[in-house]
Amino acid sequence: MAVSGFEGFEKRLELHFFGDDPAIFPLGMRKLEFESLEQVLEAVQCTVVSAVGNSYFDAYVLSESSLFVYPTKIIIKTCGTTQLLKSILPLIQYAHHLGLTLSSCRYTRGSFIFPKSQPFPHTSFKDEVTYLQDTIPSNLCFRKASIMPSKSSSHSWHVFTANDSAHTLPHLPYHHDNELLFTMEICMTELDPILARKFFRPPEDGKSGDSAGKEMTELTGINEINPDALICDFAFDPCGYSMNGMDGDWYSTIHVTPEDGFSYASFECVGSVNDNIAHVLRKVVKIFRPGTMSISTTCNGFGNDMWTQMASAVEPLGMKCRSFAMDQFPAAGTVVFQTFSGRRKSV
């Protein structure tokens, strides 16, 4: 393991808003000027490198991960030494100008590979929680912070949620035709070195980040995870890759730090409990063949069969479920955290 390197593990922030004027909702936070978003990202210390939108939301690939803007929801996911939590206050202020008020906040992350390199307030989970408690408004009175453990001291899942009393379970995606939806966050380390090389660009290839990213998407099979998704991808120089996928109002995102010694990849998506989750998981594991992997799933009101489906999907690929933790968050659903590791097999 390298003494220091690029921090792949992301910090993730999800904010939900509400307003009394129904005329706000068709666009809501999507009305924010691009210059306003740039100012928010400047506080976080990252920039936009590519963007795409549809009739439901806007998706931005950042220099460090991704930003999704819906009418009443914003998701920011940033890696490296970004200061993600510093986006909260400006976003609250910009929302206020649009007639919107913060109704819920969720912050999640894994365990940093290089924790001592993180700037305040990300110096520890305790510091992050203190900062969150001091920053979010008092109407978000249902609050909980939790570190969900695993059998490995280097893998735990950190969750903070805060919700107001009037709006319950805002974090969970809307039901589609009575289907119950979930958010799944996968973090992978110790990537197969041969597969990780696909996320390096040839020296002086003369291509733009967009065109090189499109090549990586097709070369690695990322475009086959969800063939229906519109993909906005970007390849960094000399290495690294990010993509956002749009499928109606569902998003997906992948970020890759391929350097040997601290290799990392993440995959996040929204899905239905009735969908073929096994197909998605198997595709992701085959693309990266990680030595270790964690899956965090957020949902409300579904049974244990989903967790066993996940474990049985990746077990034939050499990944064994090593730990399982579940925690409930007031007015914010249930989070399940699973970790996997095992010897690599030919897939």
Q: How far is CA 17 from CA 9, 140, 268, in A?
A: 27, 11, 22
218 assigned ligand-binding residue: no
176 included as an active-site residue: no
First and final C-alpha spacing in the chain: 26
Which listed residue (65, 252, 263, 341) is catalytic?
65
The CA dihedral of 212, 213, 218, 223, to the nearest 10 degrees, is -170
Residue 65 annotated to the active site: yes
Please say whether the beta carbons of 187 and 298 come within 8 A: no
DSSP characters for 256-313?
EE--TTS-EEEEEEEEETTS-HHHHHHHHHHHH--SEEEEEEEESS--THHHHHHHHH
Encoded tokens for 20: 């009394």
* 255 part of the active site: yes
Q: What is the CA radius of gyration of the chain?
A: 19
Residue 9, marked binder: no
User: Among 255, 266, 294, 296, which one carries the catalytic annotation?
Assistant: 255
The residues near 229 (Cβ < 8 Å, ≥ 6 apart) are 245, 246, 247, 252
Query: How many Cβ atoms sit within 10 Å of the Cβ of residue 179?
Result: 13
Active site residue 171: no
Determine how many CB atoms are found less than 10 A away from the CB of residue 262: 20
* In contact, 195 and 287? CB cutoff 8 Å: yes
| Catalytic residue chosen out of the listed positions 50, 87, 146, 242 | 242
- The answer on whether 112 is annotated among ligand-binding residues is no
Report the DSSP beta bridge partners of residue 321.
340
Catalytic residue among 16, 46, 63, 79: 79
In order of 27, 61, 246, the CA distances from 253 in angstroms are 22, 9, 9
Is 236 part of any known ligand binding site? yes
Angle, alpha carbons 99-45-112 (nearest 5°): 110
Q: Which residues are annotated as a binding site?
A: 6, 64, 236, 259
Going by the annotation, the residues of the binding site for substrate are 6, 64, 236, 259
* Catalytic positions: 65, 79, 242, 255
